[in-house]
Structure 1
Amino acid sequence: MTKPALTQPESPLDEAMASVDVAIAGGGLAGLAAALTLGRARRSVLVIDAGHPRNAPAAHMHGYLTRDGKNPLEMLRLGREEVRGYGGRIVQETVASITRLEDGRFQLTTGDGAGYRSRRVLVATGLVDRYPDIPGLHERWGRDVVHCPYCFGWELRDGALAVLGTSPHAVMQALMWRQWTSDVVLFQHTAPEPTPEQAAQLAARGIKVVTGEVEAIEIHDDHITGVRLTLGEVHPREVVAINPWFEARTDLLGPLGVKLTDHPMGIGRQVQAEPSGFTGVPGIWVAGNVLDVTAGVMQSAASGVTAAATLNADLTLEDTTHALSAQP
């Protein structure tokens, strides 16, 4: 399937856009939803994004009301068009650094050395999935190696599914996937051995447990065909569910004093922030998976809207303060 192109020529930023109200690092659904909301609020907004979203390997995204089954890159292309329709600008690059200037504004420097200034910054750079270096996982990621039953479960329903155990959450993950298929095998791999209570739960749901570490995922004719253990035994399987460590992309935020925290479920690390996305550091907001590593596409877009509304309120208070001080 041909992926839609995100690149569209942009004219150079004019002097009026050299400094904007809000610069957004990351143009996934969270960043674009924020940009759209800010544009409609008549704020000047700049989105800087390289166009390589986390879900690019997937042919379709799901659970986004009215857009279920849409290609992820097509969604971003449409989102960019909508943002441009309200005067927002898109720069196809990577943000290399964010620094606070003496006047309180921020400078975002991109990978090509260009600099852009803004009054506020929203970071929506997403996350990185960390998973075992087992041959076959990377090649099939986002197709028949998956992590989220709500994202992929319907399409993979009734398949012969393997759950790769890598954490204490493996048993619950296997029980969850049982909702979509009756053929679930939990490969213990490096996960703790199920407790007697967990073993009873798995048995009651007809979920087999295989001990021993997994060596590779067998692939034939562009499909998963089995899971091979280190001792050489191969178990026929069609789908592999994994439980990655979710690592928010926060490199830009550390130098600004933004704090990180572990996700309450112990499955990743994200920014410590208010539900609005405000980080507690003046001028800095976050949205999407930087704010919550478990957020799906719809939650990420919603968090972008929420952050945009509070950003606009913050800018409104500053505009009013400036107007009062300018009075004779």
Structure 2
Amino acid sequence: MTEDSYDVVVVGGGAAGLNGALMLARSRRSVLVVDAGEPRNAPADGVHGLLALDGTPPAELLARGRAEVARYGGELVTGEVAAVTRAGERFAVTLADGRTVRARRVLVATGLVDRLPDVPGLRERWGRDVLHCPYCHGWEVRDQAIGVLASGPMSVHQTLLFRQLSRDVTYFAHTRPPTGEQAEQLAALGIPVVTGEVTGLEVVADRLVGVRLAGGSVVPRQAVAVATRMEARAGFLAPLGLRAVEHTAGVGEQLPADPVGRTEVPGVWVAGNVTDLSAQVGASAAAGATAGAQINADLVAEDARLALEAHRNPFGAGMEARVSERMLAGRQHGF
């Protein structure tokens, strides 16, 4: 950080945060991106469903984005934001290491955390052959033997989506058996339902080969889909009164905002998975661009209002402050 105050501090350097920062930097705003370096898609081999960049490794995509932001004068720093508080008409953004910067506006793009079911082996193979999104990873496991571990209210829907990609899909009821109509629907599509608790995965030579049940039997599978509980990374906004709320579908918690990312706290905007749990990389980037443009428009309106006030009252408090700043700058330069 080279300054102690910026037009905008962007919290989170994923697709949403970087695209928001890019829009702001190209509008000649002073921008600081603070990123903890923990992208949700880090375990994945590539980003999919992103036009012209399909298959790009996540780390490469972010590196390109950081370089683009820096090219337009945006600053980037590695760190974790501990709290965002009011500081007069601005915000104070405090990092975990104690550093603090001020901002006129804040864009939050910290994403979410995936909470996996408490089944041994899932976390270790997450993003490889344990998957969640058919649009992100489905093509890569097409025509394989896929198991869907029932773990949330959308598990049957997830099963139907993966059935589009393979005829060999099995629903593991685990602790969430399908309802009567759901069971009938699965049967109509030729999707077997396996009852009993799932206790782990069977792995041979670093390859997933099956799903282990409580009785000790193993059902052969090459990939497992699981619906995680998704929780927005937003605890640092609590001092402003902003807290995540439960998603209407019961799949996790997200920060509420209007369609362009404006929150109920004036000056704080959100974009990406922190406010849209189902957004893929392309949608998150688009939301970041939208929020960035809206923030710039908000700042333009404020700049015009302040200029008009100064024009109408050239000897008011604002003018006196600016004169004082110029005098101080002159003394610092020996004038």
Q: Same fold (TM over 0.5)?
A: yes
Could you tell me which runs of 5 or more consecutive residues in structure 1 were left unpaired when the two chains were aligned.
1-11
> How far, CA to CA, are the matches of 1:195 and 1:216 in structure 2?
24
Flag the structure with larger Rg.
2
Equivalent residue in structure 1 for 2:245, among 252, 261, 277: 261
- Aligned twin of 1:240: 224
> How far, CA to CA, are the matches of 1:30 and 1:167 in structure 2?
26
Contact 1:167 1:190 in 2 (8 A): no
SS of the residue aligned with 1:128?
strand
Contact 2:34 2:80 in 1 (8 A): yes
Query: Percent of pairs identical after alignment?
Result: 56
Given the alignment of the two structures, is residue 201 of structure 1 paired with residue 185 of structure 2, yes or no?
yes
- Aligned twin of 1:220: 204
List structure 1 runs of 4+ shifted beyond 6 angstroms. none
Matched AA of 1:48 = V
Given the alignment of the two structures, is residue 279 of structure 1 paired with residue 299 of structure 2, yes or no?
no
Given the alignment of the two structures, is residue 89 of structure 1 paired with residue 75 of structure 2, yes or no?
yes
- Aligned twin of 1:55: 41
Contact 1:40 1:86 in 2 (8 A): yes
Alpha-carbon shift at residue 231 of structure 1 (Å): 1.1
Matched AA of 1:173 = Q
How many residues are paired up? Answer: 312
SS of the residue aligned with 1:57?
coil
- Aligned twin of 1:131: 116
Deviation sequence 1:66-96 (CA, Å, 0-9, x none): 1000000110000000000100000011111
SS of the residue aligned with 1:279?
coil
Matched AA of 1:88 = G
> How far, CA to CA, are the matches of 2:144 and 2:101 in structure 1?
49
> How far, CA to CA, are the matches of 2:182 and 2:6 in structure 1?
54
Tell me the TM-score normalised to structure 2 length: 0.91
Match runs of 1:1-328 below 5 Å? 13=2, 17-102=3-88, 104-191=89-176, 193-327=177-311, 328=314
SS of the residue aligned with 1:96?
strand
> How far, CA to CA, are the matches of 1:31 and 1:195 in structure 2?
40
Matched AA of 1:157 = R
Alpha-carbon shift at residue 262 of structure 1 (Å): 2.3
> How far, CA to CA, are the matches of 2:8 and 2:152 in structure 1?
39
Could you tell me which runs of 5 or more consecutive residues in structure 2 were left unpaired when the two chains were aligned.
315-335
Structure number with the higher helix fraction is 2
Tell me the TM-score normalised to structure 1 length: 0.93
Contact 1:162 1:184 in 2 (8 A): yes
> How far, CA to CA, are the matches of 2:157 and 2:244 in structure 1?
26
SS of the residue aligned with 2:28?
coil
* Greater Cα shift, 108-117 or 234-243: 108-117
